[in-house]
Structure 1
Amino acid sequence: MKLTERVYVVGGGSLGYGLSSPYDCNVYAIDSEEGVLLIDAGSGLGEDAILNRLRDDGIMPERVNALVLTHAHSDHAGGARGLKDQLGLLVMASKRTAAIVESGDEAQLGLEQARRDGIYPEQYQFKSCPVDRILREGDIISRGAFRLRVLYVPGHSHDMIALFDDSSQTLFAADTVFSGGKLAIIDTEDFSMKDYRSTIAKLSSLKVERLFAGHGEALLERGGDAVRLAHERFEQEHPPLSIV
């Protein structure tokens, strides 16, 4: 589904666009002359649907040559191995995410608990995946007119990154903030409300027009309102709102 001239959403589950597996996050594709960059990979259960969505949007899957993982949770990173095997793409992630994704350690993934809680089917298995490039705070990923700056944004998970393009005021927010100023509050060992508060304060300093979150619908204008609302709730000591 085309969202802007260069940005498509090609995957999404029950908390998003419903384009692939119910267990998938929103999977975004940035089309450019250098090829297609995916942001997140879904759970791995909607892999064929993601590839078909690309084709439906006129994007041949063989043009996809890179993938950024925002964090290691299974709904975002579980599909990395299958897509890498099929497309031979370059996988990029933070150092912390890479360590988890490459090991496939279910305890670090929180997958054992997630299966017990019924978030994933009992038979679901995370496929470990090699990471080709480690991303650090301030690194730039250039794709056409986009110069995506890597931001370290812990809270929902300790390893999460977001991507921000200053010129278009576009934020690929992963699971930091959503429409209406909602957060993704979960009961896992890698969650930190203290870090989340700092992350929202950090994002509030950006001028955000377009907000592409890991779940829910993208905001194509006034995306900064969502960040502002979340920040105000923290500053006023009000309980944060959650999408889950």
Structure 2
Amino acid sequence: MVGSGKYGAQTSDTMDCNVYLLDCGDGEYALIDAGGGINPERIVGNIERIGIAADKINYLLLTHGHGDHAGGAAYFHTRFGMRVISSQDVSNWLANGELEKLSVPPAIRAGVYPEDYTIPSCPVARGVRENDKIEIGKVALMVLDTPGHAQGHVSYLLERDGRRLLFSGDSIFAGGKVVIQNTWDCVIPEYAATVAKLHWLRIDALFPGHGTFLLTEAWKHIEKAHVCFERLDVPPNL
């Protein structure tokens, strides 16, 4: 984890989500999510402190288009040449700078983002959908459509040594928490369906977009959220 904001380990700008660096072997690296784009140099510094040059990172995989996850995409693409991968929906919105679709204006009005905040437009090398495979070096990541928190939200599943590791963005968190917000693209029935799908996968390790990550028995945490949705309740909000 090379970046994390106020809802996590606070190792980079307060607005940042958890940013993960994945060593894919054969000299290939990928970032998962980009943070908010405010002081992205702090993420770069964290990467370099573990002995990896940021210009060796070939890919940036976005879970969704909200500012704290995608705001830094243009910086990493322009500064280091990272090829951006996102869902089909987010690829269009990000490339065209469609801030309404990325839920930026309501977040500014709510005081979540600074008044002058924007997400710079950024070209996306590949738009992905459910069951697409992303092969980088020796690693193959499976794309899962995981809407609910946001339209066009995807998660990335890595199967290794008989274990399932999930980079879940804002679809599920430790403790069975979720993030339900009053935005156009947050849809509770879709959220419930996403959590049910993740519960069925029996995930071993969970690397969420905020908060702590889980290295074992992550499925127990997902089950808590699933049980809430199944009884027509909503899980606790992060």
Look up the equivalent residue of 2:110 and give its one-letter code: D
Counterpart-to-counterpart distance in 1, 2:219 and 2:36 = 28
What CA deviation, in whole Å up to 9, does each residue of 1:193-231 have, x standing for no partner? Answer: 010000011111112111000000110111111111111
Query: What does 1:62-101 align with in structure 2 at a 5 Å threshold?
Result: 62-101=55-94
The alignment partner of 2:222 has SS state of helix
Counterpart-to-counterpart distance in 1, 2:9 and 2:44 = 15
On the 8 A contact 1:10/1:53 being kept in 2, the answer is: yes
Counterpart-to-counterpart distance in 1, 2:106 and 2:41 = 27
Which portions of structure 1, spanning 4 or more consecutive aligned residues, are displaced by more than 6 angstroms? Answer: none
- 1:182 — aligned with what? 177
Look up the equivalent residue of 2:154 and give its one-letter code: I
- 2:44 — aligned with what? 51
What CA deviation, in whole Å up to 9, does each residue of 1:166-213 have, x standing for no partner? Answer: 333101111011011000111100100010000011111112111000
Give the drift of 1:82: 0.5
Counterpart-to-counterpart distance in 1, 2:138 and 2:227 = 32
Instruction: Give the alignment's TM-score, normalised by structure 1.
Output: 0.93
1:28 aligns with 2:16: no
Unaligned runs of 5+ in 1: 1-8
Look up the equivalent residue of 1:238 and give its one-letter code: D
Look up the equivalent residue of 2:122 and give its one-letter code: C
Query: RMSD in angstroms over aligned alpha carbons?
Result: 1.2
What CA deviation, in whole Å up to 9, does each residue of 1:21-58 have, x standing for no partner? Answer: 11111111101224110011011003100100001111
Counterpart-to-counterpart distance in 2, 1:100 and 1:145 = 30
On the 8 A contact 2:26/2:138 being kept in 1, the answer is: no
Structure 1 stretch displaced more, 90-99 or 26-35:
26-35
On the 8 A contact 1:157/1:192 being kept in 2, the answer is: yes
| 1:140 aligned residue (127, 133, 136) | 133
Counterpart-to-counterpart distance in 1, 2:27 and 2:132 = 18
- 2:193 — aligned with what? 198
Give the drift of 1:144: 4.8
On the 8 A contact 1:94/1:159 being kept in 2, the answer is: yes
Structure 1 stretch displaced more, 131-140 or 209-218:
131-140
Counterpart-to-counterpart distance in 2, 1:235 and 1:145 = 38
Look up the equivalent residue of 2:92 and give its one-letter code: A
- 1:42 — aligned with what? 35
The alignment partner of 2:201 has SS state of coil
- 1:3 — aligned with what? none
- 2:232 — aligned with what? 237
The alignment partner of 2:101 has SS state of helix
- 2:4 — aligned with what? 12
Number of residue pairs matched by the alignment: 235
Look up the equivalent residue of 2:197 and give its one-letter code: K
Counterpart-to-counterpart distance in 2, 1:226 and 1:122 = 36
The alignment partner of 1:11 has SS state of coil
Give the drift of 1:18: 0.7
Determine what percentage of the aligned residue pairs are the same residue: 37
